[in-house]
A and B are shown apart, each in its own frame.
Chain A
Amino acid sequence: MTLPAIKAIDLTKNYGESVAVAGVSFEIAPGSITGLLGGNGAGKTTTIGMIMSLVAPTSGRVLVFGADMAHERYRVLHRMNFESPYVDLPHRLTVRQNLTVFGMLYGIGRIGECIDLLARDLDLVEFIDRPAGKLSAGQKTRVALAKALINEPDVLVLDEPTASLDPDTADWIREHLEKYRTRKHATILLASHNMSEVERLCDRVLMMKRGHIVDDGSPKELLARYGRRNLEEVFLDIARDRREPMREAAS
């Protein structure tokens, strides 16, 4: 039996009286791209934080390739990486310097060659020796992606990877992620508000609302279940509590 890349078991996070994530359980198969969808405050970022061990669960567990992230995270952190528009790289360091530092942190051999390869793949060559803080939003996203790919992770967690990007750059990033998944058989977990992105990239979608997973299936299954033409309509049905009538009508 194949070990799930990520397994969440009854994962709960409370901040005082407020419940951010309320006992969610799911398994993510290796080599899949899974979308985590939900409105603001649905618990996506907290769930991602718990998977990456940035946030300690109030109860429940996260296993990555069988390693409990609360106690055994160092067994697997070198096989994981993360990118978010809310996390930056040091602004005064050049792109090359940043990638060198993270290459060393992840124990990469022949860092120079690895950076050259990433620079060609992600089209960073033109600004590789420029400070990271002086790049455009699109360039910064590509550099953040390069940092997230520096260790060729088996598990890549992305929090809104194309937020605030123009359609061309966003499309370019999606294409790169698809290629990376195919080449590396990597597992990608993606939180996004961009429904067309999720429809295009994801094999499976977890719908979150108020800390719960309220639906789970492939984009096609969800569209059929709700009788909708696109995920945006499904999202609105869930967000506006129209899901039961829509599901009944579809069935």
Chain B
Amino acid sequence: MSASAIAFSPRRVSAMILRHWYLLRSSWPRLFELVYWPAVQMFMWGFLQVGIAKYPGAIAGTASTFLAAFLLWDILFRGQIGYSMSFLEEMWSRNMPNLMISPLRAGEFVLALIIMSVVRLSIGLVPVTILAVIFFGFNLWALGFALAAFFANLLFTSWAVGMFCSGLVLRHGLGAESLAWSLMFFFLPLTCVYYPVSTLPEWLQPIAWALPPTAVFEGMRALVIDHVFRADLMLWALGLNLLWMTAGAVSFMLLLAAARRGGSLLQIGE
């Protein structure tokens, strides 16, 4: 690969961010959708937590983590959806060939999608975390440094999955779009969002620990229930995320190359 092929331009990244900002700004349903689902889910889990907390015993202790678990799961899910949605907008508008014949590098495109996922996530999640304080007295922001560690690790995983899904859509067309919406749910039972890893059968536990979010959710429970910040879990998640991000980037590049070989960049559609 020549030096010019890997030259990085902040201006091109800005161009892509501006393109998606224009889009968000022009469409109130898109903005509303960013807040709607997280808000509905937060209320559901919040009321469940309040209801279960009325019963004495261990279950009430576990239930105290529901809201935190939901909000962290939503960071993971919305991070990936934020990435994939910005990507899918290019497919839906049949703009992808215009981008692929422009000087925009794959790395710049990916970085712009990553930044847009943070923008979309912030638009959706910040109001919801404020509603959680108002209605349930749960302040996610009070987790402080731990929240930053949880947030970063979950976003890294979401981008890795987002890169893989967008590669699949490039290669296989919009027929693979549903994977962008559903793939993350495959991880929902395995990452032990609402229960400890020890709940899983023993043979499944090593698989769960190979998923970076598992360490984050275990870390969250240690913090909320035992008031202990498990730095070891965060480092484990970070190490895994380095592998996942690398795998996500490599799979995106391989699937992009396969899309060029298969001619699917010219035939954007199902």
Best-surrounded residue of B16, B99, B261, B263 (most CB of chain A within 10 A): B263
Q: Which residues of A contact B103 (CB under 8 A)?
A: 74, 77-78, 105-107
Q: Is B40 interfacial (CB 8 A cutoff)?
A: no
Q: How many residues on chain B are close to A (CB under 8 Å)?
A: 39
The stretch of A85-93, A115-123, A163-171, A242-250 in contact with B is A85-93
Q: Are A49 and B2 in contact (CB-based, < 8 A)?
A: no
Complex: how many Å from CA A74 to CA B257? Answer: 15
Residues of A within 8 A of B261 (CB): 55-56
If A90-B89, A92-B26 touch, does A74 touch B265 (CB 8 Å cutoff)?
A: no
How many residues on chain A are close to B (CB under 8 Å)? 41
Q: Is the CB of A104 within 8 A of B18?
A: yes
- The dominant DSSP class at the B interface is helix
Which residues of the other chain, B, contact A91 by a CB distance below 8 angstroms?
Answer: 93
CB distance from B101 to the nearest CB of A (A): 5
Query: What is the minimal beta-carbon distance from B229 to any residue of chain A, in angstroms?
Result: 43
Interface centre among A20, A49, A56, A105 (most CB of B within 10 A): A105
Whether, in the assembled complex, B239 has its beta carbon less than 8 Å from a beta carbon of chain A, the answer is no
Q: Beta-carbon contacts of B84-117 to A below 8 Å, as 1s and 0s?
A: 0000011001110111111111000000000000
- Report the nearest A residue to B89, measured CB to CB: A90
Chain A residues with CB under 8 A of B16: 101, 105
- Residues of A contacting B9 with CB < 8 Å? 107
Q: Are A53 and B260 closer than 8 Å at their CB atoms?
A: yes
Tell me which of A71, A72, A87, A105 contacts B97 (CB under 8 A): A87
B contact residues around A53 at 8 Å (CB):
100-101, 260
Rank and list the top 9 A-B pairs by shortest CB-CB distance, nearest first.
A104-B15, A56-B260, A88-B94, A101-B19, A90-B93, A54-B265, A105-B102, A87-B97, A74-B5
B interface residues, Cβ below 8 angstroms from A = 1-2, 4-5, 7, 9, 11-12, 14-16, 18-19, 22-23, 26-27, 89-90, 93-95, 97-105, 257, 260-263, 265-266, 268
